[in-house]
Amino acid sequence: MAELDAVFKDLCAFMNDLSVERCYGCEISHPSQREHACLCATDDEIFLTNFDAAFDLLNKDKLLLAVRDLLRTRGLEKFC
């Protein structure tokens, strides 16, 4: 499923960017890397701590249309 791999890569990149945007250490340009949640967090921690903010940023109407299109292309119209 190359499409899902591509979506997952894009999602990871987006979550990492969001982690940097929300990092207090980046905001104040703290010289210590230990003060940067964006550098210290694991991928799982980045997802957990930024999920709500990411969800709030989603264009949910556009997402639902994309999911519907994906289901149709996979022959799964019954889930639309």
Residues that bind Zn ion (CB under 5 A): 23, 25-26, 36, 38
Least separation in angstroms between residue 27's CB and Zn ion is 8
| Residue closer to Zn ion, measured from CB, 23 or 46 | 23
| Residue closer to Zn ion, measured from CB, 26 or 71 | 26
How far is Cα 33 from Cα 42, in angstroms, rounded to an integer?
Answer: 14
How far is Cα 10 from Cα 13, in angstroms, rounded to an integer?
Answer: 5
| Residue closer to Zn ion, measured from CB, 17 or 69 | 17
Least separation in angstroms between residue 10's CB and Zn ion is 21
How far is Cα 58 from Cα 7, in angstroms, rounded to an integer?
Answer: 14
Least separation in angstroms between residue 46's CB and Zn ion is 11
Using alpha carbons, list the distances in angstroms from residue 61 to 66, 71, 80.
9, 15, 14
